[in-house]
Amino acid sequence: MPLTFALACEHNLILVITMKLSKISSFSGFLKIVEKSDGSCNMWRGVSNCKFKLIPKIARDWHLNTNLLQMTEELLLENFKIRATPYLDNHPKNDWEWLALGQHYGLPTRLLDWTRNPLVALYFACINHHEHDGIVYSSRTINELDTSINFKSFEIKEDKKWSINHFDSRLASQDALFTISNNPLIPYSKELILSVVINNKPGTGELYNLKEDLRQVWKQENKEEAEKHIASWIKKARASKNAILMKFANTLAAHSFGILNFYDYPISTGPLEGTNNKIKTLQKTAYGFRDMNFFKLKIHALHESRYALVG
C-alpha cells in the first residue's frame, strides 16, 4: 500500500505512514516530506478534490466504449488545430506536441498532467474546490515515451511517461510532464508511492466564496443593484460569525455610500497614482534633477517613455 500523507495549508497537517499518525503544523512540514522522499518521488500531481480519480479529462464522466472515446478525442484534436493555428507564435511540429498544447489550454485529452516540482503540484491542489480536501500525488518515474518510435498518440500499448520539450512558455513554467495510457478510462495507479491530502478547515470554502463574491460589487448593472449586492454581502459576512469578516462588514457598511458613488462618477485615481509612480521612477533613475524646466519636459514626455508602473 502506498504511503499516505495529509497536509493542511495554514492549518494542522496529518502524516500517515502505514496507519501511524504524526502532526505537522506548518508549510515547512510539507517541505520536510519532500526532502524525506530522497529523490524517489519523481512526478507530482495536484488535484483540488481528493475524491477525484487519476483519470484524464477526456475520460471523466464517459459512459460509452473506448472506440467512441478515441474517435471523439481525434475529432477534438483536429478541430483544435484548425482553431488554434491563427493565434500561435510557435507551431507544434507533430501530433504529440499538438496534444500537449491542447492539454494545457483545456482541451480534453488522454494526457494526465504531472510536474517535477512538488510546489507546483501543491498549488494546483489548493486553487479550487475549497469546500473539499485537495490532494497531491507522487509517483516514481515509469518508462519514457519515445515519440520517434510511437508516431500515433492513440496507439500506446502501456502506461508511459512523456518528458516533453517545453516548446510553450506555459509548459516550461509548470515544469510539466505527462503520463499517457492506452485506456484513459482506467485510473492511473502505476508506481504511486505518496499522496498528500490538503485538509481544509470547515468554513474555508465559505470564506473563499465570500471573498470572490465581494469582487462582483463593481460588475453590477447599476447603482441600485450594487447597493443590494453590498447589503446582501454584509448580511452573509455577519452571519458567518467570523470575527474578522464581521469587523470588515461593519467597515464596509460605513463606507458603502462612497463606494456606491463610483456608479455616479465612474472615475478612479489609478491613472494619477500611476503617473506619480512614474515620476518617482524618473527621479530615482536620474538621481534627481537640478534644472526644474528640464524636469517638467521629462514629465510631459512620460507618456512616450518605457518606465513601468510601480507599486
Q: Are residues 173 and 94 in the same domain?
A: yes
Say if 122 falls within a structural domain: yes
- With a CB cutoff of 8 Å and minimum separation 6, the contacts of 94 are 147, 151
In a domain, 310, yes or no: no
What would the pLDDT profile of 92-101 be if each residue is shown by its tens digit? 888 888 888 8
Work out the pLDDT band at 6, boundaries 50, 70, 90.
Answer: very low
- Please tell me whether residues 8 and 34 are part of one structural domain: yes
224 & 290 share domain:
no
Q: Is residue 309 part of a domain?
A: no
- What's the rounded mean pLDDT across residues 52-56? 90
- Kindly report each contact of residues 149-157 with a partner whose C-beta sits within 8 Å and lies 24 or more positions away, as own/partner: 151/94, 151/95, 152/95, 153/95, 153/96, 153/99, 153/110, 153/180, 154/70, 154/73, 154/74, 154/110, 155/182, 156/180, 156/181, 156/182, 157/182
71 and 36 share a domain? yes
Residues 176 and 210 in one domain: no
pLDDT digits (tens, 9 = 90+) for 174-211: 788 898 888 888 888 877 777 777 665 556 667 778 88
Cβ neighbours of 20 (radius 10 Å): 7
Specify whether 109 is located in the same domain as 219: no
Q: In terms of domains, do 58 and 105 share one?
A: yes
**Same domain, residue pair 219 and 192:** no
The verdict on residue 311 lying in a domain is no
pLDDT of residue 118: 87
The mean pLDDT of 21-43, rounded to a whole number, is: 65
Note whether 91 and 13 are same-domain residues. Answer: yes
**pLDDT bracket for residue 249 (50, 70, 90):** very high
Residue 64, amino acid: L
- Do both 33 and 98 map to the same domain? yes
Domain containing 238 equals 204-263
Residue 21 shares a structural domain with residue 161: yes
Region 30-42: mean pLDDT is 75
- Quickly tell me which residue has 463606507 as its cell: 255
pLDDT band at 10 (very low <50, low <70, confident <90, very high): very low
For residue 245, give the H/E element and its range: helix 243-260
What's the predicted TM-score (pTM) here? 0.58
Rounded CA gap, 212 and 134, in Å?
A: 19
Measure the CA–CA gap between 44 and 178, rounded to whole angstroms: 10
Share of the chain above pLDDT 70, in %: 80
Residue 151 has a pLDDT of: 64
The Cα–Cα gap between 237 and 207 comes to 9
pLDDT digits (tens, 9 = 90+) for 259-277: 999 899 888 788 888 888 8
